[in-house]
Amino acid sequence: MEKEKVYLIVGLGNPGIQYRDTRHNVGFMVIERWASELKISLREDNVARYGMVQFEDKRVILECPLTYMNLSGRAVKLYKERYGIMNENILVVHDDLDLPLGRLRIVRDGGSGGHKGVFSIINSLGSKEFARLRIGIGRPRYGEAVEEYVLFPFYKDQLETIERVIDVAVEGCELFVSKGIDYAMNRINPQNLVKGGE
């Protein structure tokens, strides 16, 4: 009998109420939205909030690491090893400064792009070969330092757009599991949710 495929969908962010609605936590927002739509609650252990669900006959683990962004890899590696998950069945959802708000990119692998959470995962897994769903947050509008910008909430005029982005990101996670990465890339990557399609 063929071994059941297990998928790990990881949203990156920082634990704690002070980080809840910040740009750096958009990965958490996507996982929380999908869990809500699936009507599952996220439980907590000492490294992550997580939930398990059967989605279209596949076993899916949703994970929000509680190790803080820079140590995300520790939680991802632990869950990968605990459930025997192949790298090709891991999708990491994270914010991306180099994409404008309203754009998303599913990519097969690659470097960290300066993202410390992704860098930690690459180091912990000893591999760059895992999929990412990059969610554009754009660059600071008012000269803020990048380190501060990512730890602040979205500008008020961006809130409507980020809600749509989170919905599309959830769709991307669903397609990654149900149809595979190529289908998900072709469906999600061309979309432009920037107001007015700018």
In degrees, to the nearest 5, what angle opens at C-alpha 59 toward C-alphas 89 and 110? Answer: 15
Q: What is the amino acid identity at position 161? A: T
Specify the amino acid at residue 11. G
Instruction: Provide the pLDDT for residue 3.
Output: 60
Domain extent listing, the chain: 6-197
Tell how strand 58-65 and strand 90-96 pair up.
unpaired
Q: Which pLDDT score, from 0 to 100, does residue 1 have? A: 39
pLDDT at 63: 98
- In the Cβ-directed half-sphere of 166, how many Cα atoms lie within 13 Å? 22
Cα gap 90→111, rounded to integer Å: 15
Report the pLDDT value the prediction gives residue 147, as an integer from 0 to 100.
95
**What's the pLDDT score for residue 170?**
98
Concatenated DSSP letters for 112-127? -TT-HHHHHHHHHHT-
Pairing state of beta strands 104-107 and 131-136? antiparallel
* CATH topology for the 6-197 domain: Rossmann fold (3.40.50)
CA dist 149 and 167 (Å) reads: 23
- Write down the pLDDT at residue 133: 98
DSSP E strands in 12-166: the ranges are 43-44, 48-55, 58-65, 90-96, 104-107, 131-136
Residue 198, classed as helix, strand or coil, is coil
The low-confidence residues of the chain, meaning pLDDT below 50, are: 1-2, 197-198
Helices and strands in the chain: count of H runs, count of E runs: 6, 7
d(CA 134, CA 137) in angstroms, rounded, equals 9
Catalytic residues: 24
pLDDT of residue 4: 74
